[in-house]
Amino acid sequence: MIACSNYVINKVLDAPFDRYHPTKCNRPAALGTVNVQAAYVQWVTMMAVGLLMASRVSMMFFITAAALWIMGCIYNIVPLRAKASVITLKPATCGHFKTGHFGWPET
């Protein structure tokens, strides 16, 4: 549930950028067919349910789930938006890794 919550906020906040991507432009959020207010409700609800479920397992599981949700927020939400400063590593055909570019990975 926590990962799903992170995916929801990612899709909503990436929509303005995805509109200009050659393949992501056809996703519902990029097309503007997603109710953004409902998506925010879904984001928070999934987080709450996920944390509630995690708390039933153990305190350590709850803390780990909360940390995952916080990392998702740091990755996606301005002003931190850590994804804007991530360098992608792509496997080269020779089996070594090469440094990718800033921005969209190849799809």
Q: What is the pLDDT of residues 61-91, one digit of tens each?
A: 999 999 999 999 998 888 777 777 655 555 5
Distance CA 76, CA 84 (A): 9
The reported pLDDT for the residue numbered 12 is 94
Give Rg (Cα) of the chain: 16
pLDDT of residue 47: 97
What is the distance between the alpha carbons of residues 47 and 65, in angstroms, rounded to a whole number? 9
The closest alpha carbon to 66, from 45, 77, 52, 80, belongs to 52
Q: What is the pTM of this model?
A: 0.72
Residue 42: C-alpha distances to residues 9, 28, 47, 93 (Å): 9, 16, 8, 40
pLDDT recorded at residue 90: 53
Q: Residue 77: its pLDDT value, please?
A: 86
CB atoms within 10 A of CB 84: 12
Ranges of residues in the chain whose predicted pLDDT is under 50: 92-102, 104, 107
